[in-house]
Amino acid sequence: MAEFFDALETRAPEAREQALMHALPATLAQAVARAPAIARQLAGVDPRAVTSRAALQRVPVLRKHALLEAQTAAREAGPAGAASAFGGFSAIGWGDAARVFSSPGPIYEPESRRPDYWRFARALYAAGFRSRELVYNCFAYHFSPAGSMMETAAHALGCTVFPGGTGQTEQQVRTIADLAPGGYTGTPSFLKIILEKADELGVALPSLKRALVSGEAFPPSLRTWLQARGVEGYQAYGSADLGMIAFETAAREGLVVGEDVILEIVRPGTDDAVADGEVGEVVVTTLNPDYPLVRFGTGDLSALMPGASPCGRTNVRIKGWMGRADQTAKVRGLFVHPSQVAEVLRRYPEAGRARLTISGEAGADAMTLTVETAAASEALASRMAESMRDVTKLRASVTCVAPGSLPNDGKIIDDTRSFA
């Protein structure tokens, strides 16, 4: 039995990077020609010249709230149809799209007829799923694409799928007992509920040997709980907009990035990549010709891991989900954003990382900006405090600390206030 999904997973990192950068210009050019919103995002950038990560980083990050705003504005402007539904980000319309989904917002996502459109087959394979097996799929099949993500991936592997969906736990137990599927796809918490219901009913489910879970946290304690019941669970990381981003392997050391995406880690609220190993926002560019999102900010925090996975896959790894990058806070009636902190820092080349701490109680808020710098002085702190007031319209004190003093957790705004 082959250990890897395909030869792409074990190629030299330099060959992978060369292939991605070779494919990127044509993908961007096609996106600009067929998706008006992408053309606006790349205004002033020659797609054919984007042949490196440095060139790609000249394109502004598209964050989820901006995607929602663009879709909403397009639908309000009308007329109704695929162009307005997707806000100009989709390169396909009705007919070419086999399905359309809705995630909270609402944000609408197309699914074309290409096999394994969401690219989860690779994650299924790493979790031990193989051809001619029955996959018991408990992701929802309505509104959001999660159910279709796993079903199309399983079909690409040559598996049969039972659409279990969610709820009806007693019936789920009976069906699993009758059909004896080899693997489960869905949230880890629902698998736990099913197995607990099976225990309650006195029904053995020995066929379930593996699971690919997503959609929520998968802590080690739950993984161990499943292993005690004979189920090896692996997690995959993706989104309704992008499809599969990264997946867990038998090495159990971080998540390996998918072969068909370009992943960056940027400082929250900015377009700027962080140093390797530093926590920041996950930003992804897909090579999807149908829905070609470019530098899409997921809003999730993670960090790149050094070295290659012991499993033999050579793509870069991330540490997994480490929180949310959108750390917006409201202070005395005004919103304070990570991008505002970034704007202040841009004015001072001698400043490094920073964290804005909001403390006190409702009605008595205090803001302190802690800045890493090797050029600490009262004059610098005073000037930065003035800039904070200029940018945020709020007062903040500034404290300078030595480089490397702040925690590496991606946090730009730390709201410690008590509202009890």
Question: The domain 329-415: what is its CATH number?
Answer: 3.30.300.30
Q: What percent of the chain clears pLDDT 90, i.e. is strictly above it?
A: 87
- What mean pLDDT do residues 328-348 have? 87
pLDDT category at 419 given cuts 50, 70, 90 is low
CB 329 within 8 A of CB 413: yes
Q: For residue 355, what pLDDT is reported?
A: 96
Name the fold adopted by 7-318. Rossmann fold (3.40.50)
Q: For residue 328, what pLDDT is reported?
A: 81
Element (H, E) at 210: strand 210-213
- What mean pLDDT do residues 73-90 have? 92
Q: For residue 284, what pLDDT is reported?
A: 98
The angle that helices 338-346 and 378-392 make with each other, rounded to 10 degrees, is 130
Tokens 């010709």 map to which residue? 289
Q: For residue 314, what pLDDT is reported?
A: 98
* CA distance linking residue 50 with residue 47, whole number of Å: 5
pLDDT category at 1 given cuts 50, 70, 90 is low
Domain boundaries, the chain: 7-318, 329-415
Q: For residue 363, what pLDDT is reported?
A: 56
What letter represents residue 266's amino acid?
Answer: V
- What mean pLDDT do residues 365-378 have? 95
362 or 343, higher pLDDT: 343
Instruction: Convert the pLDDT of each residue in 200-234 to its tens digit.
Output: 999 999 999 999 999 888 999 999 999 999 999 99
Alpha-carbon separation of residue 344 from 214, 348, 390, 412 (angstroms): 37, 7, 9, 12
Q: For residue 104, what pLDDT is reported?
A: 85
Q: Do domains 7-318 and 329-415 have the same CATH topology?
A: no
* CA distance linking residue 60 with residue 106, whole number of Å: 23
